[in-house]
């Protein structure tokens, strides 16, 4: 295969090592699903869905793979089915913040930002009340360890107020053509009033748009980010939860998990100047989402190069 994305075409999914569907709190999807066979059909955006019988096994409930530039749909398994997307929500948070704020703008962390993440049982960037961090620094805390505290601080600041920010998230989703998406917060945590929802297709559209923002692409592709202590904040060290990084050609984007959403992944890879973006939703085994994404990127790249 030509190009930097020299992945193993046809990679099969590993055994369910370490985590069972029951332990994950989700129901496993059917074992193997390929995209539509026969004549190509039209996707929601009018682009053709390629026919293929040799696609990798996909175990998650929904999956979508497309060319980021042309919108050509290469793989679609229930891509328009609405479901929770967990922390993939934070991609919209990052995208929306950077439409308003400068990376050098400073945000002061408040006790309610920290309490929100801790009380909600979300992953955190371990932010400290009183610390002052730039928007650019907070994006690493948002995207790498998937900090709900960072999401709350950014939404509170740039709504203004979390409710105002969420309203802007939904308006932005409509403007991007994400018509099957509804956000209820800036982080994807469950709420007493119900979870938000999206689709694999809508999240792929968002991924393609977000990766056009240089800082988001840089942050999402960073495996570890460290901040030395200053007069403004303590030291921080954040490691990316995306285990796809390090694979040749992989460029991000975001992991997610809740009991309702299962294990989710928005991913992207670049080969011969082309960028493919994809989304996996409601996978029952954490590690398998990364091997599946790797296989889909390899398969999609090979199809385009053929």
Q: What percent of the chain is modeled with pLDDT above 90?
A: 75
The tens digit of pLDDT for each residue in 45-100 reads 434 344 456 889 999 999 999 999 999 999 999 999 999 999 999 999 999 999 99
Q: Look at the chain and count its residues.
A: 306
Helix, strand, coil content of the chain in percent (nearest 5): 35, 20, 45
pLDDT band for 306, please (50, 70, 90 cuts).
low
What pLDDT was estimated at residue 303? 84
What pLDDT was estimated at residue 9? 30
The β-bridge partners of 268 are 277
What are the domain boundaries of the chain? 21-305
E strand or H helix that includes residue 107? strand 106-108
Query: With contact defined as beta carbons under 8 Å apart, do 299 and 229 qualify?
Result: no
Distances (CA, A) of 296 to 43, 77, 124: 18, 12, 30
The β-bridge partners of 224 are 239
The tens digit of pLDDT for each residue in 134-144 reads 999 999 999 99
The set of catalytic residues is: 87, 90, 146
Mean pLDDT, all residues of the chain? 85
Distances (CA, A) of 48 to 40, 44, 72, 79, 205: 6, 9, 6, 14, 15
Out of 9-23, 41-55, 91-105, 286-300, pick the least confident: 9-23
CB burial of 174-204 (b: ≥16 within 10 Å; e: otherwise) equals: eebebebbbbbbbbbbbeeeebbbbbbbbbb
Out of 51-55, 70-74, 211-215, 251-255, pick the least confident: 51-55
CATH architecture for residues 21-305: 3-Layer(aba) Sandwich (3.40)
Query: With contact defined as beta carbons under 8 Å apart, do 152 and 187 qualify?
Result: yes
Which structure tokens are listed for 198? 């999206």
Global pTM reads: 0.83
Beginning with the edge strand found earlier in the chain, give each strand of the sheet holding 274-283 in spatial order. Answer: 41-42, 48-49, 73-77, 62-67, 274-283, 262-271, 250-258
What pLDDT was estimated at residue 193? 84
């Amino acid at each position: 295969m030509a190009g930097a994305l020299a992945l193993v075409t046809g990679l099969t999914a590993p055994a369910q090592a370490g985590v069972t569907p029951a332990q994950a709190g989700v129901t496993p999807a059917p074992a193997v699903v390929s995209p539509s066979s026969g004549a190509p059909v039209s996707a929601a955006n009018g682009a053709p869905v390629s026919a293929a019988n040799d696609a990798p096994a996909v175990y998650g409930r929904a999956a979508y793979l497309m060319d980021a530039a042309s919108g050509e749909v290469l793989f679609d398994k229930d891509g328009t089915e609405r479901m929770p997307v967990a922390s993939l929500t934070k991609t919209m948070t990052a995208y929306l913040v950077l439409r308003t704020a400068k990376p050098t703008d400073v945000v002061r962390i408040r006790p309610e930002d920290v309490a929100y993440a801790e009380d909600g049982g979300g992953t955190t960037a371990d932010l400290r009340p009183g610390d002052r961090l730039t928007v650019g620094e907070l994006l690493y805390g948002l995207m790498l360890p998937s900090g709900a505290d960072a999401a709350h601080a950014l939404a509170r600041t740039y709504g203004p107020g979390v409710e105002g920010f969420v309203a802007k998230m939904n308006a932005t989703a409509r403007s991007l053509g994400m018509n099957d998406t509804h956000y209820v917060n800036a982080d994807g945590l469950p709420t007493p009033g119900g979870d938000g929802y999206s689709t694999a297709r809508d999240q792929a559209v968002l991924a393609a748009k977000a990766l056009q923002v240089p800082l988001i692409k840089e942050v999402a592709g960073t495996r570890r980010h460290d901040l030395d202590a200053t007069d403004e904040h303590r030291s921080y060290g954040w490691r990316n939860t995306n285990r796809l990084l390090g694979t040749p050609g992989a460029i991000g984007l975001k992991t997610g998990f809740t009991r309702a959403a299962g294990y989710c992944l928005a991913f992207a890879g670049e080969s011969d100047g082309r960028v493919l973006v994809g989304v996996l939703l409601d996978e029952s085994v954490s590690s398998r989402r990364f091997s599946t994404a790797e296989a889909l990127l390899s398969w999609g790249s090979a199809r385009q190069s053929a």
